[in-house]
Structure 1
Amino acid sequence: MKDHSVKLSILKILSQGGFHSGEELGERLGISRAAISKHIQGIQAWGVDIFRVQGKGYQLAKPMQLLDHEILSRSLGNNVELIPIIDSTNQYLLDKVDSLESGAVCLAEYQAKGRGRRGREWVSPFGANLYLSMYWRLDAGMAAAMGLSLVVGVAIVEALEEMGLAGVKLKWPNDLYYQDRKLAGILVEMSGQAGAAANLVIGMGMNLMMSENTQGITQPWASLFEVANRQHIDRNQLAITMITTLHRALNDYELHGMAGFVERWNRLDNFIGRQVKLIMGPREISGVARGINEQGAVLLETGNGMESFIGGEISLRPNS
């Protein structure tokens, strides 16, 4: 694994605010000014906006709060790993399922190969968002995992509401929306055999303070900074709240299944009562969104009456 310790040390210094000269940084880290300049370029490749002023040095374009493993571990009962630079938090846990306890968590500051639904790239600039994954052993097996991303979505929005962050909605089956723009995505991946327990990895990426100039995103997106009326969001406290909420929701789901979540989902459905279209491969089905049922299927009122749809290749969009 590549050593990123110098870049992370530079970021820790810069995150304290103010200007820091190349000479000062070099002295503190025991390397040359030229090496500092090279590391700064590497940090910028992670999506961090750093500017340099002649005679003053380097400064972050906007404040950055780094995740703190000590704070997270002290506040959580879960086994928490914080790996600042990673390919994918989900993949990291999937590769270790045989040695993990249920509820184990991996967080990162930057994902080189973050992924969303259907293998799409999840753009993951350093320190701007929240990237976390949780491992869960579902003793009832893979069939019982149907609708799990819906449960996770409900739990996360309700946690944001408890934090005073209002207006976040859900898009079936696995996205959080704010003012019709994507705020967060949920990715549930599983392994296991029929008749045995299922190994689940539940990943979430949430936009917090991502730059409007971030490259590689093809759809309108929102940030939690907007939801919070541009007030500071404590990233460590947010991570603690999300992890605690996820753990509680998964326990609840194991005990009661989807039944207790249907009304909670429908209250938060971004498209309920609106004209939408479902994209199912080459097919398009138009109708009015009517929430979900106890199987986690999306309900559409079409010319044929009330119909339910479920499956991994369905895309829900507003009908323009």
Structure 2
Amino acid sequence: MKEHATRLALIAKLADGQFHSGEALGEALGISRAAVSKHIKVLRSWGVDIFRLQGKGYSLPAKLELLDCDKILAQVKCPSLEVIPVIDSTNQYLLERVATLPKGACCLAEYQQAGRGRRGRQWLSPFGSNLYLSMYWRLDAGIAAAMGLSLVVGVAIAEALESLGAEGIKVKWPNDLYYQDRKLAGILVELSGQAGEAAHLVIGMGLNIAMPEAEGEAIEQSWTNLSEACDSLPERNELAAALINQLHSALNDYEESGMEGFTSRWNRLDNFLDRPVKLLMGNRVVEGIARGINSQGALLLETEQGISPYLGGEISLRGC
């Protein structure tokens, strides 16, 4: 983190959304104007939209609320919370520490250098635009009990966003959130453990809040921002606290009641409920009408042969 200290201090100076001259920034940080320019270049490569106006200096398009551990903890009880501005991956950070983490521990980042989604895909993570959050959870019931956990997490996130005034947030089986048929957030659940022992889970999510259009050009599917679903966008620290609180609550509910307690909650939010879909399973394609999920978290698909459940990590869902 030491190598990023000057860059993070530079962002903190620019976070007020006002213009700052290169000379003033250099004096405040104890570096030359040329060094300021070099650091600005790196910050732009992180996805920070910094522009320069002749005679006025550098500025962000608007104020930037940086994540603050104390502000988040003032709104939620969390046994361990770390805000690491620049990280390879919040999930990987927790995976490497599961032996020492308390249940419910969280890690947030402003920028992921190696963020990842399902099946090894890259998760685009520009600095300060979105929310990158991972949580550790221990399931004493074991790995088998983790089936369908991504659905529980999706419901929790959607309900948290609803509580903050977002409308029309939907879930897509098995691990995405949608708004108006465009991807809003992704969920990645990674687990470890042996048969007969507790399961160690790291639950990661990336939520688009204000993804810059230029950064989003690299995304290979239709996407959207939370700003589209909210008349008044919540502050990022308030949003982080709400998500952590709702995740803790949902995971405790899941341990007590299993998927049965979430079936109706999922179906209320299901983006593809009663719509024609395609299930892609390797080279196999099954078309039908989505009819929600069952108590095991399996997708129910109605075809000419009737309604059948589908469950598996390699199944992906697309609207027809």
TM-score range, shorter chain: over 0.9
- Determine the structure 2 residue equivalent to 1:195: 196
Are 2:196 and 1:211 aligned?
no
- The code of the aligned residue for 2:88 comes to D
Are 2:16 and 1:16 aligned?
yes
Q: Distance in 2 between matches of 1:162 and 1:49?
A: 30
TM-superposed deviation, 1:62: 3.3
Q: Distance in 2 between matches of 1:155 and 1:68?
A: 22
Could you list the runs of 5+ residues in structure 1 that have no partner in the other structure? none
Q: Does the 8 A contact of 2:73 with 2:241 survive in 1? A: no
SS at match of 1:202: strand
Are 2:72 and 1:56 aligned?
no
TM-superposed deviation, 1:76: 2.8
Are 2:211 and 1:236 aligned?
no
TM-score (norm 2): 0.98
Are 2:285 and 1:284 aligned?
yes
TM-superposed deviation, 1:304: 1.0
Show CA shifts across 1:248-285 (max 9, x none). Answer: 11111011100110011011100011100000000000
Q: Percent identity?
A: 64
Q: Does the 8 A contact of 2:282 with 2:314 survive in 1? A: yes
- Determine the structure 2 residue equivalent to 1:35: 35
- Determine the structure 2 residue equivalent to 1:223: 225
- The code of the aligned residue for 1:83 comes to I
TM-superposed deviation, 1:75: 2.7
TM-superposed deviation, 1:71: 0.9
SS at match of 2:214: coil
Are 2:67 and 1:67 aligned?
yes
Q: Does the 8 A contact of 2:17 with 2:61 survive in 1? A: no
- The code of the aligned residue for 1:223 comes to N
- Determine the structure 2 residue equivalent to 1:180: 181
Q: Does the 8 A contact of 2:108 with 2:133 survive in 1? A: yes
Show the 5 A alignment for 1:122-201: 122-201=123-202
TM-superposed deviation, 1:2: 5.5
Show CA shifts across 1:80-133 (max 9, x none). Answer: 000000000000000000010000000000001101111111000000000000
Q: Distance in 2 between matches of 1:110 and 1:146?
A: 30
TM-score (norm 1): 0.98
SS at match of 1:301: strand
Q: Distance in 2 between matches of 1:239 and 1:294?
A: 29
**Large movers: runs of 4+ above 4 Å:** none
SS at match of 1:18: coil
SS at match of 1:12: helix
Figure out how many residues of one structure are paired with residues of the other and give that number: 318
Q: Does the 8 A contact of 1:89 with 1:133 survive in 2? A: yes
- The code of the aligned residue for 2:132 comes to Y
Q: Does the 8 A contact of 1:116 with 1:185 survive in 2? A: yes
Q: Distance in 2 between matches of 1:232 and 1:263?
A: 28
Q: Distance in 2 between matches of 1:26 and 1:248?
A: 46
SS at match of 1:98: coil
- Determine the structure 2 residue equivalent to 1:89: 90
SS at match of 1:294: coil
Q: Distance in 1 between matches of 2:225 and 2:214?
A: 13
- Determine the structure 1 residue equivalent to 2:46: 46
- Determine the structure 2 residue equivalent to 1:119: 120
Could you list the runs of 5+ residues in structure 2 that have no partner in the other structure? none
- The code of the aligned residue for 1:66 comes to L
Q: Distance in 2 between matches of 1:204 and 1:68?
A: 18
Q: Does the 8 A contact of 1:225 with 1:233 survive in 2? A: no
- Determine the structure 2 residue equivalent to 1:274: 275
Q: Distance in 2 between matches of 1:75 and 1:91?
A: 26
